[in-house]
Structure 1
C-alpha cells in the first residue's frame, strides 16, 4: 500500500530534509503541498511532479485522500495543523519543536491517542550511527547509573532568519533554546532512559540582536527581514532535575563569543561516562583497575532526518514500535517552557506540582 503524503509548509527544511526522504521511500508518495507562499510551493510541485497545491491546509485535508500529513510550518502552527490532521484521521509527522507551549503539546498528544493515529516529531539525532551506538551501550548497562551530565549547541555567530519567524517569539516560541535545545536535550534524555523532569532553573540573554555577522551555515535557515522582529534570546543556559535524582546542565546559543560552533552531550555514570562533541566520541571507564579512555571508530551511515522519516513510515505500516512517543514531546516542551519562566522570574520552577 502506497501512503499518500500531504505537506504543510514547504520551506528549506521541507525541501532539504523531508521531501528527499519521502521521495526515496518505496511506501510513500507526496501528492499535495500547502504553503501560504503559493508561488514557492508551485515551483516545488512543478519540479517534482506533484499535482496539487494549496494555500489553506484545511482545504487540503478536505479535498485530498491523504494518509500522512507532514508539517514544516513555523513553530506556532505545529499543534494547530497536527490536531486538525489527526482529527481528520491522518498520521502526522512534524518538524521539531513539538509545540510552543505545554498546553499545545498536550493537545497534540491527546488528539493522537483519541484518533489512534501515529504522531511523531522529528528527533533526527537519535538516528545518527553514533547515537545508536551510545543508546545500545547505555541500555546494556555499560554506563551503570547515569546520574549527571551536560549538553548544548553553542554558536559563535549563527542567527537563523534574522527578523523573520525564527526571531519572532509569537511565531517561534523562543530563540536557540527551543530551536537547538530540542535536539541535544532530547538526545541526553534518551540516553538516560527518559527520566521524568521535576524542576528547572534557567537564564536567557539577548546580546547580539544588532549583529549581521555569521560564521555558521545554519544561519541560512529562514528568511531574513531587515525591518523584522528580534524579541527572543540569543543564549540560554539552565539546570534540570529529574525524579530519579539525576541532573543535566544545558547551554544553547545562536551568538556568543566562543571559539567555534559546537554540539555536545556529556553524561557520567557509575561504570563509565562519555563525551560526544560534534562527531567525536570518547568513552571514559576503568578496565582491570586502570583508568581508560576509549575512542570508538564508528562509521557514519545514513541520514538522521531521512532515517527518522523512514522509521515513522515503518511504524505507520505496523512493522516496528516507535522510538519516540508523544508524551516525550510533552515533557520536552514542559522543560523548555519552564526554563523560559525561570529566566523571567529568577526562580526555580517546579514541574511536579
Structure 2
C-alpha cells in the first residue's frame, strides 16, 4: 500500500480525499489544513486518518510515500520542496507555480532526487481530448491552417470580494486559473506555443486580476491560432473548454463531451467517412474503478499511483510540462504590458 497524505481540504482537496480513500492501492494516512473547523468536521467522519494543521509537522512525523498538494498556488513551492527533499513523490494541483524561478527549482530538484511528480491538468485524462491528440498525430487533417483554444464559465459574474483565486499574489486570476487549462491542452495536444501577440488581459468585474484572456499564439510548428478565455460568462453553467484545428483535409472540434470530425474525403485508415462524424465521451472515457465528478479525476490519480508503485516517472502532466505552461503564461503577461 502506498502511504499518502493530502495538504489542503478545499473543494479539490476533499475530492482527492474521496478518490484516494477509495483507491485499493492507497493508504491515506494523514490530511493537513490550517482551518480547525474543517479538521474538526473531517474528524467526525474519519477516525483513523491523522489530522495536522502544520505540514512540516506532518512531514516530520509521518513516513510518507507520496503527498497530494491542493492548496492555493502561492503555497505549492513551499510545500513541495521539503517533500521532495525527503524523497516523497508529489502530485500538485494546477497551476504549478506563480514564479518561473520556483518552478524551475522544483523541476531540477525532482530530477535530482528522482521523485515522481504530476500536476493536476485533468483534461489530459478526458477521452475526447486524448482521441483528438491521437488523430492529429495521425495526420488526418493534412496541413494544418489554424487552431482555437477556448474556455468560458461563471466564476466572477458581478463586482464582489473575490476568493484567493482573484488575488494576484495567491491565485493569479483568470490567466492562471482558467487560461492555464487551455494553454496546457494546446501545448500537449496541438503544439507548444513559442510566441504570443496582441494579448489582452481584460477586467470585467474583478479589481485586481483579469477576468478575460485573449491572444494570438504561434506554435513551434509555425501553426498560428487564437486563445479566448473568459471566467465572467454567465451564459455557462460551469467551465466549458474546447479546441478546434482546421487543415486542408478537414477540421476537428473537441470538448469534454464530444469530438466532431469533418473530412473532405474518407479516411479508411481511421474508418472515418467523408463529411461529419461524431465520437462521444461515453465511447472514449477511460475505465476507472471509482467515479467522482468525472472519470478524468479518478484516472489522473490512478495514473499517479501507478507510476509511484512502478517507481517510474510518467509522461503526462509532469512538473516540467506544467513549467512550460507557466512560461507561456509569463509570455502573455509580458506581451499584454507592451
TM bin, normalised by shorter chain, reads 0.7 to 0.9
Is 1:203 aligned to 2:191, yes or no?
no
User: Could you tell me which of 269, 282, 292 is aligned with 2:275?
Assistant: 292
Give the corresponding residue for 1:268.
Answer: 246
Q: Distance in 1 between matches of 2:66 and 2:301?
A: 11
Give the corresponding residue for 1:89.
Answer: 87
Runs of 5+ unmatched residues, structure 2:
268-272, 289-294
Say whether the 8 Å CA contact 1:200–1:335 is kept in structure 2: no
Aligned pairs for 1:144-159 (under 5 A) are 144-155=142-153, 157-159=154-156
TM-score by length of 2: 0.86
Is 1:283 aligned to 2:266, yes or no?
no
3-state SS of paired residue (1:251): strand
3-state SS of paired residue (1:100): coil
Q: Distance in 2 between matches of 1:59 and 1:276?
A: 45
Give the corresponding residue for 1:221.
Answer: none
Aligned pairs for 1:1-353 (under 5 A) are 2-16=1-15, 18-155=16-153, 157-159=154-156, 162-172=161-171, 174-192=172-190, 194-195=191-192, 197-209=194-206, 230-256=207-233, 262-287=240-265, 292-299=275-282, 301=285, 302=288, 303-318=295-310, 321-343=314-336, 345=337, 347=338
Q: RMSD between aligned alpha carbons?
A: 2.5
3-state SS of paired residue (1:158): coil
Per-residue CA distance 1:239-279 (angstroms, 9 max, x = gap): 22223212231111121476776422111234432112452
Runs of 5+ unmatched residues, structure 1:
210-229, 348-353
Provide closer, same or farther for how the CA distance between residues 147 and 36 of structure 1 changes in structure 2, counting only shifts above 3 A: farther
Per-residue CA distance 1:65-90 (angstroms, 9 max, x = gap): 01111101111111221122111210
Deviation for aligned residue 1:49: 3.4
Q: Distance in 1 between matches of 2:225 and 2:196?
A: 11
Deviation for aligned residue 1:334: 0.7
**Mean alpha-carbon deviation: is it higher for 323-332 or for 112-121?**
323-332
Deviation for aligned residue 1:202: 1.2
3-state SS of paired residue (2:192): coil
3-state SS of paired residue (1:236): strand
Q: Distance in 2 between matches of 1:132 and 1:103?
A: 31
Provide closer, same or farther for how the CA distance between residues 203 and 140 of structure 1 changes in structure 2, counting only shifts above 3 A: same
Say whether the 8 Å CA contact 2:73–2:95 is kept in structure 1: yes
Deviation for aligned residue 1:196: 5.5
